[in-house]
């Protein structure tokens, strides 16, 4: 079985490294060709200059892309080459879009799974990321066999779109938590509370202590915004949540507010930084 991967962004690059180190990656494609060329030279993996060639030569295709438009554009190009092949999308996109794409892939004789990742780039590097898979159960074992080379926990969620709904629900809580943590830290800083006291509060005393606070509190306190998960992607995810909620005919008052806050933060130039940089929005508004 020949395996190809499309998308060498922050997460995709690390997935590709894990697969290659397990001898489970044959081909790559990236929109920015220089990045694919560098990866090809470093890891001795063949690269193609267009996704169509990768699809023609692969039996199992993985996509790790940024948004609805990116994955829709790629699928449109590779559809004619997906007969009897498996396409696994690790991106976080709209469930409605993903379901539509899976139907298109099926009409061409292929099978598509949504398989969003829950975790950071560090989790991917350490193979600790959780992958939640939606799609035909009878082919899930094949998907699990491949993805186990980059994840220690792969969950079958149900039919197409289910993995994405679960991922969005998890990210919904995370998005609100990031704003709550940032606002609390900003309040404490303005009140003259020391870094040490703030750290003790949120990592040892508060009932809200969690892996998320362990990971993001130090970054917020020290203004260390090296990317683990970009703020622009969090903004994108919250916008998907709001749209999907409209389709489901349910209100998301808190998430709608949080989405607007991330949009404002991106407008302030924080989009390319880690999501923890949301604290800078709160610091600016207290001045």
> What's 212's domain CATH number?
1.10.1040.10
Task: Please measure the distance between the N-terminal and C-terminal CA atoms of the chain and give it in whole angstroms.
Answer: 58
Same domain (yes/no): 59, 135: yes
Q: Would you call 233 exposed, middle or buried from its count of C-beta atoms within 10 A (0-12, 13-18, 19+)?
A: buried
**pLDDT, tens digit (0-9, with 9 covering 90-100), for 55-109:** 999 999 999 999 999 999 999 999 999 999 999 999 999 999 999 999 999 999 9
Burial 125-152 (b: 16+ CB within 10 A, else e): bebebbbbbbbeeeebebbbebbebbbe
pLDDT tops 80 at residue 287 = no
Under a CB-based contact definition with an 8 Å cutoff, are residues 237 and 94 in contact?
no
Considering 98, 130, 160, which residue would you say is the last residue of a domain?
160
Same domain (yes/no): 26, 150: yes
Prediction pTM value: 0.93
CA distance 116 to 179: 23
DSSP code for 95: H
CA distance 162 to 137: 12
Same domain (yes/no): 19, 139: yes
**pLDDT, tens digit (0-9, with 9 covering 90-100), for 116-164:** 999 989 999 999 999 999 999 999 999 999 999 999 999 999 999 999 9
Same domain (yes/no): 77, 173: no
DSSP code for 49: S
Tell me how many domains the chain contains: 2
The confidence score (pLDDT) of residue 165 equals: 98
Considering 160, 177, 193, which residue would you say is the last residue of a domain?
160
Does residue 203 sit in helix, strand or coil? Answer: helix
Q: Where are the alpha helices (DSSP H) in 79-161?
A: 95-107, 121-125, 140-147
Domain containing residue 93: 3-160
Same domain (yes/no): 128, 14: yes
Same domain (yes/no): 62, 130: yes
The confidence score (pLDDT) of residue 147 equals: 98
**pLDDT, tens digit (0-9, with 9 covering 90-100), for 155-186:** 999 999 999 999 999 999 999 999 999 999 99
Same domain (yes/no): 121, 230: no
**pLDDT, tens digit (0-9, with 9 covering 90-100), for 4-19:** 999 999 999 999 999 9
pLDDT tops 90 at residue 286 = no
Same domain (yes/no): 143, 170: no
The tokens describing 273, both together, are 């930084």
Same domain (yes/no): 155, 169: no
> What's 14's domain CATH number?
3.40.50.720
Mean pLDDT of 275-283: 98
Mean pLDDT of 251-267: 98
Same domain (yes/no): 156, 172: no
Considering 160, 193, 216, which residue would you say is the last residue of a domain?
160
């Amino acid at each position: 079985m020949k395996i190809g991967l499309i998308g060498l962004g922050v997460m995709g690059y690390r997935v590709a490294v894990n697969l290659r180190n397990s001898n489970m990656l044959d081909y790559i494609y990236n929109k920015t060709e220089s990045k694919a060329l560098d990866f090809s030279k470093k890891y001795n993996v063949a690269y193609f200059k267009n996704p169509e060639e990768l699809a023609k030569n692969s039996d199992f295709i993985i996509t790790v892309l940024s948004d609805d438009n990116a994955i829709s554009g790629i699928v449109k190009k590779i559809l004619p080459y997906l007969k009897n092949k498996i396409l696994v999308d690790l991106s976080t996109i709209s469930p409605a879009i993903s379901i539509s794409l899976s139907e298109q892939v099926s009409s061409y004789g292929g099978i598509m799974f949504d398989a969003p990742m829950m975790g950071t780039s560090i989790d991917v590097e350490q193979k600790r990321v959780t992958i939640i898979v939606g799609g035909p159960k009878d082919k899930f074992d094949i998907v699990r066999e491949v993805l186990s080379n980059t994840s220690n926990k792969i969950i079958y969620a149900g039919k197409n779109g289910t993995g994405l709904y679960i991922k969005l629900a998890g990210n919904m809580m995370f998005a609100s938590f990031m704003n709550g943590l940032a606002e609390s830290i900003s309040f404490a800083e303005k009140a003259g509370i020391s870094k040490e006291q703030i750290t003790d509060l949120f990592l040892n005393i508060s009932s809200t202590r969690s892996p998320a606070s362990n990971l993001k509190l130090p970054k917020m306190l020290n203004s260390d915004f090296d990317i683990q998960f970009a703020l622009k992607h969090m903004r994108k995810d919250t916008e998907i949540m709001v749209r999907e909620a409209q389709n489901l005919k349910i209100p998301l008052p808190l998430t709608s507010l949080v989405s607007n806050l991330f949009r404002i933060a991106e407008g302030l130039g924080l989009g390319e930084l880690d999501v923890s940089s949301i604290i800078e929005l709160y610091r600016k508004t207290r001045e």
